Structure 1
Amino acid sequence: MATASHRPLATSTATIEIQQPPRKLPDFHANVKLKYVKLGYHYLITHLLTLCLLPLIAVTAVHATQLNHHDVINLYNHLQYHLILVTTITFITIIGFTTYRMTRPRPVYLVDYSCYRPPAHLKVPYQVFMEHSKIHGAFNESSLEFQRKILERSGLGEETYLPAALHAIPAEPSMVTAREEAELVMFGAIDDLLKSTKVNPKDIGILVVNCSLFNPTPSLSSMIVNKYKLRGNIKTFNLSGMGCSAGVIAVDLAKDMLQVHRNTYALVVSTENITQNWYFGNKKSMLIPNCLFRVGCAAVLLSNNSSDKNRSKYKLLHVVRTHYGFDNTAYRCVYQEQDPDGNTGVSLSKDLMSVVAGALKTNITTLGPLVLPISEQLLFFVNLVARKIINWKIKPYLPDFKMAFDHFCIHAGGRAVIDEMEKNLQLTQEHVEPSRMTLHRFGNTSSSSIWYELAYTEAKGRMKKGNRVWQIAFGSGFKCNSAVWEAVRSVKPSVHNPWNDCVDNYPIEMVF
């Protein structure tokens, strides 16, 4: 069968002469000059206060060196006469500093995280996927052809994973097999995390689990408490029905809990369950998730203990959540329902990409002032004034978020989602590389995909101390959520990094 061409970005040793049209050197040089002009402007505005203070500091230093003994004695006597004022100011300063230290939000550190890597026998190449779809007998010829085309254009590779229940002939979607999938992925991720951090499960005081479509009783969080014998007073939360952006929501909830409960750990587990949510019908909009969603899970360990700072990987800076549920089109663009034949599945609307763009715009409007340098905010403000007040006919200025972030982890929801983000944020191929490669290697693993992308960046050795990471995810409802992290140190890939044995094969060029 015809498939998308996937090949490593490697240069051939053979030399091939290809006649190309001459480059437009003036345009190239103009672009280079414009780039350096903008970088110079950015540097000037960022350090404007320092540049203005330098002359003042120099003048003060010169005057200080010219003070004689008599001037120093006069200054000392002047302070003695105003001893009460000086004492009062000092006391107020100490009280204010102490109050600030006691009431400020406590830093939240990401000690480590783990992404589950399924066993090799769960891989589902295109051919296996199509053969099993035919054997199941639930799909007509039109649906089979539709799924084949989606697979070829999806950006998924030949090594993604499906649960064991869907490899069986016939498929075995039951409560028992769904529990088995949940235990396999969650316990696998948590086991690796506990091994790498050497944290005693009894020291975990907060547990947040998110899984949209599988909600058994007892809950998934209770399943984890039982497995690892977590302590009796642990604060547990089980988030359901919140879509692919629930991983960021879970981090936000854990962060809030860590402000209340001091000196403890929070365990966040993000996953999705496919076994009972495979669609066995012929409605086209509900067949797309079958082609995109794959097995995955991430376990994240957070801490508010200052003693964990030196061994942690990241510090949480911001979480911004946007809910678009007030709009009916956005609310129904990712919708679980039954088709006319009674088959349950998740329907993806044709309006999904326009909803993503609208939710993204709202989210970055809030996020921008928190992360963008003053130079970008000034350009945005001047553009706004020119358009709204002076009525100039100019395009709205899109802030350059590449000035605020070093790495981007865009939810690998599908090739179209990544393309939309690349276009709207004017990102480069390298910026979206972690997302495209995660989609290719692991598929859409729902809320855990942003962690596989972060693991890819680490495996490539690109994460340096002080680097900022933007995790952004979209989910049903409709929601757009962002988390911003700063690397506490230069991060090396962990022993359990899911990319360890294959990262040298990436990036892969995908031709459709």
Structure 2
Amino acid sequence: MGPERTFLHADPHLPLLSFISTQLSNKRVVTTDTVTSIATTTIVATMTFTNFLKFSSFTLLSLTLLHRFLPSLPLLSSLSHRHHPLLLLSFLSCTLLYLYLYARRRPLPVFLFDYSCYLPEPERRSSLEVCEYYGFRCPRLSHSTADFMRAIFLKSGLGDETYAPPYIFQEDYDAKFRYAVQEAEEGMFDAVSSLLSKTGIPTSAISVLIVACSMFSPVPSLSAFIVNHFNFDPSIKTYNLSGMGCSGGTMCCDLAAKILCSKPGYALIVVTENMSLNWYFGENARCSSPTASSASAPRPCS
């Protein structure tokens, strides 16, 4: 699974008609092998304007009904007497304040702003022949284990357009921490840089950073790698989720949506996986199956 980058955005104070007419001609469609995403800035502005119209119409209707039935209600009729203009004004002010607070309590809409994936270099492409070469050359794997892993790989559904981590192409055939760091930095930095250049959003505007990686949790954290590399604002809120497998990306989106509903802004979601330190070199076939199926992890193209 390749690193995925997502922007979520919530903003209750977007410009209205002039902004909409300008952005209608600037919508970008990004098509990849696995996903099609549309920049939805215009949709956010349109829906915010619609909510504003609904609130204005409701307020106008309430005032009209109040004015229409004012003489028929004893309490309101007494308030409308010429000796109580301040009481009537206070009543109307409280009504408008209640309507405003009711509208403010409604949750803000949260939208996917843009999306980017990491595509490794062509020399990282891992075909069946490359995996066979690694299996038979690695001194820590017996020939029987290499044959078993080859059979699992053929049935895994992975083709010649998949990519392997940097560790596969090293000569020492030893899983080391620095290879895991290299794998994480290459994927995250490239995808985040691509996303920031596509959206044009400055790092100072991003208030939330969420990173999900199940099998690699270094210290400092992966979110600290990103914050230091791209010079994010020191006040940015960072979250690191692990141990949830492929569902980590969905959990990140849910967490970002809940945060943005209470505090509008931009949230950057980074979903990746790391395999450099998660290899099995023993003779147990059950333990060798995950290693064979993840030897060439698919990397979505951006």
Instruction: With the length of structure 1 as denominator, give the TM-score of the two structures.
Output: 0.40
Distance 1:160 1:85 in 2: 76
**Residue among 224, 227, 235 paired with 1:233:** 235
Indicate which of 82, 105, 108 corresponds to 1:106: 108
Amino acid at match of 1:132: Y
2:143 to 141, 144, 148: 141
Distance 1:148 1:214 in 2: 26
Equivalent position amino acid for 2:216 in 1: F
CA contact (8 A) 1:207 1:267 kept: yes
Contact 2:205–2:266 (CA under 8 A) maintained in structure 1: yes
Partner of 2:49: none
SS at match of 1:154: coil
CA distance in 2, matches of 1:140, 1:218: 36
Matches of 1:107 and 1:122 in 2, distance apart?
40
Cα distance, 1:217 vs structure 2: 1.2
Q: How far has the Cα of 1:81 moved from its partner?
A: 3.7
| Aligned-residue offset at 1:227 | 0.3
Q: Aligned partners of 2:120 and 2:167: how far apart in 1?
A: 14
The answer on 1:287 being equivalent to 2:288 is yes
The aligned counterpart of 1:277 is 278
C-alpha deviations, 1:111-143, integer Å up to 9, x for none? 101110111101110111012111113233332
Number of the residue aligned with 2:252: 250
Residue number in structure 2 paired with 1:490: none
Given that residues 209 and 237 in structure 2 are in contact (C-alpha distance below 8 angstroms), is that contact kept between their aligned partners in structure 1?
Answer: yes
SS where residue 265 of structure 1 aligns? strand
Q: Deviations 1:341-361 (Å, cap 9, x if unpaired)?
A: xxxxxxxxxxxxxxxxxxxxx
What do you get for the CA RMSD once the two structures are aligned?
2.8
Question: Structure 1 CA distance, aligned partners of 2:95 and 2:152?
Answer: 64
Amino acid at match of 1:277: N
Shift in Å at residue 107 of structure 1? 1.2
Distance 1:118 1:105 in 2: 39
Flag the 1:84–1:142 CA change in 2: closer, same or farther, 3 A: farther
SS in 2 for 1:191: helix
1:214 corresponding residue in structure 2: 216
Q: Deviations over 1:445-497 (max 9, x none)?
A: 6xxxxxx4xxxxxxxxxxxxxxxxxxxxxxxxxxxxxxxxxxxxxxxxxxxxx
- Note the residue ranges of structure 1 that are not aligned, 5 or more in a row: 1-76, 296-441, 446-451, 453-497, 500-512
Cα deviation code 1:255-292 (max 9, x no counterpart) = 22223333x21111010111111222222222222233
> Partner of 2:277: helix, strand, or coil?
helix
| Number of the residue aligned with 1:123 | 125
SS for the counterpart of 1:170 is coil
Where does structure 2 lack aligned partners over 5 or more consecutive residues?
Answer: 1-66, 78-87
Query: Aligned to 2:274, what secondary structure does the other structure show?
Result: coil
Q: Supply the distance in 1 between the matched residues of 2:191 and 2:74 (Cα, whole angstroms).
A: 62
Kept in 2: contact 1:166–1:172 (CA 8 A): no
Distance 1:292 1:78 in 2: 73
1:94 positional shift: 5.1
Residue correspondence of structure 1 range 372-451 to structure 2 within 5 A: 443=298
**Sequence identity (%):** 36
CA gap of 1:286–1:90, structure 2 versus 1, over 3 A, is: farther
Match of 1:266 in 2: 267
Distance 1:232 1:121, change over 3 A: same
2:223–2:240 CA contact under 8 A, matched in 1: yes
Question: In the aligned structure 2, how far is the partner of 1:190 from the partner of 1:215?
Answer: 19
Question: How do residues 312-327 of structure 1 correspond to structure 2 at under 5 angstroms?
Answer: none
Report the Cα offset of residue 222 of structure 1. 0.6
- 1:1-46 CA-to-partner distances (Å, cap 9, x unmatched) read xxxxxxxxxxxxxxxxxxxxxxxxxxxxxxxxxxxxxxxxxxxxxx
Query: Tell me, what secondary structure is at the counterpart of 1:275?
Result: coil
Where does 1:325-364 land on structure 2 (aligned, <5 Å)?
A: none
Displacement of 1:294 in angstroms is 6.1
Cα displacement (A) at 1:83 = 4.9
CA distances 1:391-438 after superposition (whole Å, capped 9, x unpaired): xxxxxxxxxxxxxxxxxxxxxxxxxxxxxxxxxxxxxxxxxxxxxxxx
Q: Deviations over 1:228-256 (max 9, x none)?
A: 11111111111222222111111122222
CA shift at 1:157, angstroms?
0.6
User: 1:158-186 deviations in whole A, cap 9, x for unaligned?
Assistant: 12111122112232421112111111000
TM-score normalised by L of structure 2: 0.67
1:24-63 superposed matches below 5 A: none
| Distance in 1 of aligned mates of 2:295 and 2:192 | 19
User: Is residue 152 from structure 1 mapped to residue 154 from structure 2 by the alignment?
Assistant: yes
Higher relative contact order (CA 8 A, sep 6+): 2
Q: Give the aligned partner of residue 72 of structure 2.
A: 82
Where 2:120 maps in the other structure, the secondary structure is coil
In the alignment, which residue of structure 1 is the partner of 2:182?
180
1:14-29 to 2 correspondences below 5 Å: none
Amino acid at match of 2:279: W
Q: Is the 8 A contact 1:136 1:169 kept in 2?
A: no
* CA separation of 1:215 and 1:84: change in aligned 2, threshold 3 A: farther
Q: 1:93 to 1:148 in 2, by over 3 A?
A: farther
Match of 1:191 in 2: 193
Contact conserved, 2:131 with 2:295, CA < 8 A, in 1? no
